[in-house]
Amino acid sequence: MSSSPIDPDTAVARLSQEGYRVEIRDQHLLVHSIPFVTAQKVVRYGTLACLYLKQGEQVVPPNGPGDNHQVWWTEEYPCYPDGTVLDLGNDPNVRELLPGLTVRNRFSSKPNQHMNGYPDHYEKIIYYVRMIQNPAKSIDPEVDARTGEVVATRESESVFRYPDTASARAEILAISAKLAVERVAIVGLGGTGSYVLDQIAKTPVGKIHLFDGDIFGSHNAFRAPGAALLEEINAKKPKTDFFARKYDPMRRGIVSHAYFLDQSNVGELAGFDFVFLCVDKGETRAMLVKFLIENGIPFVDTGMNLKLVAETNSLMGTCRATLVTPVKSDHVADYIPMDSDDDDVLYRQNIQVADMNAVNAMLAVIKWKQHLGFYSDDFKPHNLSFGVNLMALNRGPRHQDDAE
């Protein structure tokens, strides 16, 4: 964590100048040391937290899009001096709102003069502080949330060049933090691999290493997210360089390796937290799978099988994502083609379609997120196969401990 002076926003600066212990953390405004009365008629102290979003350099007011009049409270529900509860909108909800910050209640209240929303964060915070603090002052006139202490703004050393307001607005920052592993590799930046990158780049992974020796061409542009410039195609740059530049405006930590992995350099995958295999040759896949299993590195292997149906002049086939972990690898031979003669039919016929590439990548990314606990995973399958002609998703084996 790093510290910086209090945010220059007028409302926050005013709270700080008046002596409130204000902190900006993970796109939330926190006010500490607010006295309140417990149900046992005892004065204790708690922290208020509310969204503090920015669009560019501008702070979104509490009545703006994505913000609201609600606040979170870290302690038990505050009461009047006689022990009866205050009327602040009762929504008990114990959860980790931010990494390291657990809240126990959420309040939803507006005075008549602010029925259309609070004009700024100062008015919003002051209203809740007074409602919570005044009963405590009735018991002890000396207590006051204006402690005069200054709390430095704490901002994580984020990989993003601008805040992830999507996770903040959805109130899932603590859940998203589960994805903040140090190093992830994507081997193969074709259609599927590029869509994997598109999703992983929007998570708090520390470093994303890209491995591919191919040049970015026009056929790649039609099977990748976003739109490439004609100049970029004509530049004939390595895929990994192209995609590293594309996502650099959004985040740091994308590392380009403009070469293929083989027996001589596969050791570069040692120490990764997770690997996505998006390769098109069985022998290469076999070499990579063997290394990852032997070194206890979890990974997802992806593959597609699209073929032309002459009778209907249409395409049919499947896309597959297979999760392999240090405790579950005995299913590899059943689901992952690794012989030179068993390369996916997709690549032998050179049939790739962007939407199936995207579906393939999404299956892989979802399995990764389930592996890390971001998504619930009731069935815990280690293989997913989607058939486009059947519009059906088949789930593969579970680990024996998961099935019990």
Which pLDDT tens digit goes with each residue over 22-50? 998 888 999 999 999 999 999 999 999 99
Single-letter code of the amino acid located at 122: Y
Dihedral of CA atoms 84, 88, 94, 99 in degrees, nearest 10, equals -130
The overall average pLDDT reported for the chain is 89
> Given a cut of 50, is residue 240 above it in pLDDT?
yes
Percentage helix, strand, coil, to 5, in the chain?
A: 30, 30, 40
Q: What are phi and psi of 38, to 5 degrees?
A: -85, 170
Least confident piece of the model among 266-275, 277-286, 310-319, 348-357: 348-357
Query: Residue 357 corresponds to which tokens in the numbers above?
Result: 């590439």
Summarize the confidence of residues 134-160 as an average pLDDT. Answer: 85
What lies within 8 Å, CB to CB, of 182 at 6+ separation is 205, 206, 207, 273
Higher pLDDT, 398 or 81: 81
- Output phi, psi for 299, to 5 deg: -155, 165
CA distance 249 to 267: 30
CA distance 391 to 118: 48
Nearest 5 degrees, angle CA 211-CA 215-CA 221? 100
> How far is the C-alpha of 213 from the C-alpha of 211, rounded, in Å?
7
Could you tell me whether strands 274-277 and 183-187 are parallel, antiparallel, or unpaired per DSSP bridges?
parallel
pLDDT > 70: what percent of the chain? Answer: 90
Answer yes or no: are the C-beta atoms of 61 and 9 closer than 8 Å.
no
Distance of CA 32 to the CA centre of its chain: 27
* pLDDT for position 155: 59
Per-residue pLDDT band at 2 (split at 50, 70, 90): very low
Residue whose tokens read 């390595």: 238
Residue 29 exposed, middle or buried by CB count within 10 Å (0-12, 13-18, 19+): buried
Whether domain 180-403 has CATH 3.40.50.170: the reply is no
Answer yes or no: is pLDDT of 401 > 80: no
Provide φ and ψ at 387, rounded to 5°: -100, 120
Summarize pLDDT for 330-344 with one digit per residue, the tens. Answer: 999 999 988 765 444
Instruction: Measure the CA–CA gap between 95 and 34, rounded to whole angstroms.
Output: 20
Q: Are 29 and 148 in contact (CB under 8 A)?
A: no
Mean pLDDT score, 194-216: 97
* pLDDT of 304 above 80: yes
Tell me what pLDDT residue 150 has. 73
Torsions phi, psi of 29, nearest 5? -95, 125
Question: Of 369, 354, 287, nearest to 323 (Cα)?
Answer: 369
Confidence label for 84 from pLDDT (cuts 50, 70 and 90): very high
Supply the pLDDT for residue 3: 39
> How many angstroms separate the CA atoms of 262 and 256, rounded?
17
- Give the distance, in angstroms, between the CA of residue 178 and the centroid of all CA atoms in the same chain: 8
Domain parsing of the chain, residue ranges: 2-162, 180-403
Reported as a pLDDT band with limits 50, 70 and 90, residue 228 is very high
pLDDT at 8 over 70: no
Q: Please report the pLDDT score of residue 300 as a whole number.
A: 98
Q: Confirm if 239 and 245 have CB atoms less than 8 A apart.
A: no
Asked whether the predicted pLDDT for residue 152 surpasses 70, the reply is: no
Q: How much is the pTM? A: 0.83
Nearest to 68 by CA among 128, 126, 116: 116
From CA 8, how far away is CA 19, in angstroms rounded? Answer: 15
**pLDDT tens, 244-263?**
999 999 999 999 999 999 99
On the question of pLDDT at 162 being above 90, the answer is: no
Going by the DSSP 8-state scheme, the letter that residue 60 receives in this structure is P
Quick: pLDDT tens for 100-133. 899 999 998 877 765 667 888 999 999 999 999 9
Confidence of residue 148 (pLDDT cuts 50, 70, 90): confident
